[in-house]
Amino acid sequence: MSHNLLKGKRGIIFGALDENSIAWKTAVKAHEEGAVFVLSNAPIAMRMGQINELAEKTGSQIIPADATNIEDLENLVDQAVEILGGKIDFVLHSIGMSINVRKGRHYTDQNYDFTQKGWDVSALSFHKVCQTLYKKDAMNQWGSIVALTYMAAQRVFPDYNDMADNKAYLESIARSFGYYFGKDKNVRVNTISQSPTPTTAGKGVKGFDGFIAYAEKMSPLGNASAQDCANYTVSLFSDFTRKVTMQNLYHDGGFTSTGVSNDVMEKFMKED
């Protein structure tokens, strides 16, 4: 069901890989709500994924860009403004990658070249995206920039590895850049801290299935799905959240505020 929440709005959506990804579902939902946008992903991810299918479904153009490369980002922003016929109203940064995780390197035994690359892709790329939009004055007033994060930025989830550090850095950028974007351009910048979600990226983390089951039992409302996250993201792109900025918004069914749940306790209680 459409509410026309994004009618007349233009955007850029980074990171749609396949139909499991939050960026993919956000693109579909934004399209349903009346938005037009361009899709962007790294050339290698585009070969792996099915982004052409999404472009067809949403009537969108794809502009390949390495989000760690300023030249690529400048080209992307220029093309997006031209294709969409005006300044940008919303941006979704849904990009994350850890080579240490992929190669099975433990947090206490990092390859720092891997660490740096992962940080550049997962965190610094968000600053580069914001800076490019800011310098080009490419955002409309009251526009909205959102990046996806995870609670491992605040609490330890051992197998999340160096991605936890990347997410902490990402959230800090949203606050810091959010100040300047708010003061100078009336643009808001937020992060959404999503429940563990079985996306292609998520499944790469060791012990993920067990953790999803645990989070489900801990959260009073249960885990938020990728579709739930897409709906929430669209609300942050809409005009209903104009004064929400520099926030890390937990979208996790109440997990963050729950010390322990009866469902989890039952697992540890010895029967009389």
pLDDT of residue 204: 63
Q: Is 96 annotated as a binding residue?
A: no
Token pair 């004055």 is found at 137
Catalytic residue among 107, 134, 150, 169: 150
To the nearest 10 degrees (0 to 180), the angle between helices 22-32 and 226-237 is 50
Q: Is 207 annotated as a binding residue?
A: no
169 flagged as catalytic: no
Ranges in the chain, pLDDT < 70: 201-206, 270-272
| Residue 70 to residue 260: CA distance in whole angstroms | 45
pLDDT of residue 203: 67
- Whether 5 is covered by a domain: the verdict is no
Token pair 């004064």 is found at 243
> Quick one: which of 37, 43, 49, 46 has its CA closest to 77?
37
- Whether 1 is covered by a domain: the verdict is no
| Residue 94 to residue 193: CA distance in whole angstroms | 12
The pair of three-digit structure tokens given for residue 173, joined into one six-digit string: 């950028």
pLDDT in tens, 15-67: 999 999 999 999 999 999 999 999 999 988 777 779 999 999 999 999 999 99
Q: Is 57 annotated as a binding residue?
A: no
Beta carbons of 241 and 144 less than 8 angstroms apart? yes
- Whether 152 is covered by a domain: the verdict is yes
Catalytic residue among 160, 214, 232, 250: 160
Q: Is 15 annotated as a binding residue?
A: yes
pLDDT of residue 137: 98
> Quick one: which of 203, 88, 118, 137 has its CA closest to 212?
203
pLDDT of residue 208: 75
Q: Domain total for the chain?
A: 1
| Residue 64 to residue 41: CA distance in whole angstroms | 5
- Whether 198 is covered by a domain: the verdict is yes
- Whether 21 is covered by a domain: the verdict is yes
- Whether 151 is covered by a domain: the verdict is yes
> For residue 170, what is the domain's CATH number?
3.40.50.720
- Whether 122 is covered by a domain: the verdict is yes
180 flagged as catalytic: no
pLDDT of residue 164: 97
pLDDT in tens, 128-140: 999 999 999 999 9
Q: Is 34 annotated as a binding residue?
A: no
pLDDT of residue 224: 97
| Residue 227 to residue 29: CA distance in whole angstroms | 9
Helices (H), the chain: 22-32, 43-48, 51-58, 70-84, 99-102, 112-119, 125-135, 163-185, 208-218, 226-237, 262-268
Give 240's DSSP letter.
G
pLDDT of residue 201: 66
- Chain centroid offset of residue 209 CA: 21
pLDDT of residue 43: 87
pLDDT of residue 37: 98
- Please give the residue range of the domain that contains residue 252: 10-268
| Residue 46 to residue 183: CA distance in whole angstroms | 36
Q: What percent of the chain has pLDDT over 90?
A: 88
- Whether 3 is covered by a domain: the verdict is no
pLDDT of residue 211: 84
User: Terminal CA-to-CA distance of the chain, rounded, Å?
Assistant: 50
pLDDT of residue 31: 98
